[in-house]
Structure 1
């Protein structure tokens, strides 16, 4: 059978036409107003690339069939990578149509927005300058925030994989990996308060590194220990979680992090030891009027005897000074004012407590659909699980456990904040340039 340049070229055109048709149909069907910015950015990249690749295939020409086949092979590799790029994001959006994950993700969407939106000064009817991160379910143990300027997002393949990661950092496409445990245990969604802190911190100063660096220096100076600096990014996220979830921010951290005594006092790579981390969170909560110390004591995490862990003893002595330094920073004062932590919502009879009662026994829902409503439901979910599961004399039955989850997810969705959900952010380059620049290097 002789080689046919026309047939070879046609083969590639059929494939790129199929990709284009499937993407356009998918994009037309999906209805997620909160993520319009991300969807439009993705659409601009994918559709422009399909048009460019088809044009390149139609114009394949060479003196020999071998050279023409080589051009077609290169373009078909680019098509395959374009499929992979779209599939990476399609899977995350499509989870909202999967019965296994839909309720959890719709609930998380509201909690994320409730933690994220108040950071911006704009009225609720105006677009925010940066899009909210897209939560999705990952087979992970704990949540992970991946900003749009971070690169380790698409798996483990080296070289070309890294190039694709670099390409995507130019799109307004931040994502939040939610652990699979959140499906059965919606209290895990409260960890969104911490993860959103990772997205907020680089937006505080025009140059993302200015505030990040300043915050690190404040931590190091307050602790009189440069080792504290490498924990500063996670400390900021913990601080933000206190603003959004009050004292209930401590409980999920303890649930995911507690181990044997030696592990609880061991310094980590990007975190202080678990005990120091919880003590700092408790001190920050106390500074804002939340019962942080009481929450920490209720967790009853094992502590070493005095002198039993010199490094832990040294680190915990710095906790009060670090907490005070954070609260005193001008930028942190401004953010705290925007978020509006209200300790009265976290005491007995407060809104978080009322949500916990609703989740536990179906009592009437409190006033909702305010900027802080969904995150108050998330905090109330942690409280409900603490009371009905972790501290219960008798564990709930499977049906009772499922009822807790159903009420929590419904309440988070019902707490939806009014206002527009999209963003004014746009990629810096023209549509198609981000991905096509990558594809040219494949």
Structure 2
């Protein structure tokens, strides 16, 4: 009876977490601000429920008959599975606050704009290839933004514990995230960082890591993202890097010197030329990413600075990335801030951040991650 009570205690904790997850998903699915992430929630539901079911099954297999008179061994096994359950909870807590920033009256409008910029940059090469992209990244605002334009995919300091490495690995396999600077709340033109961040993920999801490394060695990640962001938002990519890196030392192992990075973004450096020649299914990167429409950037630059702008053609895939490029080019001020937050969320065609993976692939992911988390 003692072993049974101990098992029931852990099973109840697993069931409580499932109820918490179900309530969170149901509440978010009903809110318009989360419509872009419906496929994310499908993936999270299948994977996290699968992990909880796997842990629950292992708990129910802990019986006095199996462990004999040694109740201590049964308790130890329950403790191991409690740690597996804690990993799932921490994984849920890794994602939930990032989505929930959209409920905040201050951060929500900025993230509505950020979502469209990321979606614009993310879909672009997949559209050209005629492919449906993976689920797509989750943008969020980070008060600890480290002034380096890299995806922040490590576990937040507030959640650090011995199992954080595992939580981070699990998160990497689920939904990628994109960290954006918190100061974009006041200066939304800083959302241009999203073009560079998205480039990091595109390189991996187009399976270009090997080819990019052959071109740029240890600099490959940054050089690819710099070239990609230049194609997405033009000279705004150079402004972003120049502003972030001004006066800071450069880690020469992973980053080119600042003057060379700016040349790469200007597409005048040999490394940029080599990156533009990378191909996927016969398509060069230069054609996969396209180029920002300079004339439209100029027109929108003037419009964004006015108090009563007339802005049309916002439903195209390129609209959001073109608009944020114009926002960087416009003189900073209240009108630009107001107009970016008003018009960016209206950009782009209907649809979600990416596309839902096939159900079989999601179930396979759930099984794989369940095996990883079980102790």
TM-score of Structure 1 vs Structure 2, range by shorter chain? 0.7 to 0.9
Q: TM-score, normalised by structure 1?
A: 0.73
Residue aligning to 1:351: 296
Number of matched residues? 361
Match of 1:131 in 2: 135
- Measured after TM superposition, the shift of residue 323 of structure 1 is 4.1
Aligned residues of 2:238 and 2:265 also touching (Cα < 8 A): yes
* Counterpart Cα distance in 2 of 1:25 and 1:329: 45
Name 1:337's counterpart in structure 2: 287
Do the aligned residues in 2 keep the contact of 1:115 with 1:196 (CA within 8 Å)?
Answer: yes
Match of 1:291 in 2: none
Q: What's the CA shift for 1:270? A: 1.5
Distance 1:234 1:181 in 2: 23
Name 2:347's counterpart in structure 1: 415
| Cα pair 1:168 1:435 within 8 Å, conserved | no
Matched with 1:170 is: 173
Once residues 151 and 357 of structure 2 are traced to their aligned partners in structure 1, the CA distance between those partners, rounded to angstroms, is 17
User: Aligned to 2:305, which of 347, 353, 360?
Assistant: 360
* In structure 2, C-alpha distance between the alignment counterparts of 1:420 and 1:191, rounded to whole Å: 21
How has the CA–CA distance of structure 1 residues 323 and 210 changed in structure 2, closer, same or farther, with 3 Å as cutoff?
closer
- Is 2:325 the counterpart of 1:379? yes
Tell me if structure 1 keeps the 8 A contact 2:300–2:323.
Answer: yes
CA shift in 2, pair 1:428/1:79, >3 Å? closer
CA distance in 2, matches of 1:153, 1:39: 20
Structure 1 unmatched runs, 5+: 217-228, 288-318, 389-395
Shift of 1:237: 0.9
Structure 2 residue 160 is the aligned partner of structure 1 residue 160: no
Deviations 1:115-149 (A, max 9, x none): 111111369xx8713222111112213365449xx
Pair 1:323–1:10, CA change in 2 (3 A) = closer
Corresponding residue to 2:8 among 7, 10, 14: 10
Q: Equivalent residue for 1:432?
A: 366
| Of 126, 134, 141, the match for 2:146 | 141
SS of the residue 2:288 aligns to: helix
Cα deviation 1:380-415 (Å, max 9, x = unaligned) = 11112xx23xxxxxxx6xxx3xx5323212211111
Give the 3 Å change call, closer, same or farther, for CA 48–203 of structure 1 in structure 2.
closer
SS of the counterpart of 2:204?
helix
> What SS does the corresponding residue of 2:364 show, helix, strand or coil?
coil
Farther off after superposition, 429-438 or 189-198: 429-438
**Residue 189 of structure 1: CA displacement?**
0.8
Larger radius of gyration: 1
What does residue 179 of structure 1 align with? 181
Distance in 2 separating the partners of 1:211 and 1:89: 32
Structure 1 residues 22 and 364: CA distance shift in structure 2, 3 A: same
Divergent runs of 4+, >6 A: none
Classify 1:143/1:183 alpha carbon distance in 2 versus 1 (closer, same or farther; 3 Å). farther
1:28 Cα deviation after fit: 2.0
1:80 aligns with 2:83: no
Structure 2 gap ranges (5+): none
CA distance 1:210–1:6, shift in 2 (3 Å): closer
Report the TM-score, using the length of structure 2 for normalisation.
0.85
Match status 1:61 vs 2:66:
no
Q: Aligned partners of 1:53 and 1:198: how far apart in 2?
A: 34
Q: What is the Cα deviation at residue 328 of structure 1?
A: 4.8
Residues of 2 paired with 1:328 and 1:13: CA distance?
55
CA distance in 1, matches of 2:109, 2:326: 18
SS in 2 for 1:106: helix
- Is the partner of 1:121 in helix, strand or coil? helix
Per the TM alignment, residue 434 of structure 1 is displaced from its structure 2 partner at its CA by 3.4
Q: Distance in 1 between matches of 2:7 and 2:60?
A: 7
**Is the deviation greater in 371-380 or in 9-18?**
9-18
Q: Deviations over 1:252-304 (max 9, x none)?
A: 111111117xx5xx67332122122113322x1xx6xxxxxxxxxxxxxxxxx
- 1:405 paired with 2:337, answer yes
Report the aligned-residue RMSD: 2.9
Structure 1 residue matching 2:222: 3-state secondary structure: helix
Change (3 A) 1:203 1:76: closer
Give the Cα–Cα distance (whole angstroms) in 2 for the partners of residues 170 and 322 of structure 1.
Answer: 30
How far the C-alpha of 1:69 sits from its partner, in A, is 2.4
1:415/1:95 Cα in 2 relative to 1: closer, same or farther (>3 Å)?
same
Determine if the alignment matches structure 1 residue 107 to structure 2 residue 87.
no
Q: How does 1:183-262 map to 2 (within 5 A)?
A: 183-205=185-207, 208-216=208-216, 229-259=217-247
| Offset at residue 420 of structure 1 (A) | 5.2
Equivalent residue number for residue 220 of structure 1: none
Distance in 1 (alpha carbons) for counterparts of 2:92 and 2:206: 31
Distance in 2 (CA, whole Å) between partners of 1:329 and 1:10 is: 56
CA, structure 1 residues 40+144, in 2 after alignment: closer, same or farther (shift >3 Å)? farther
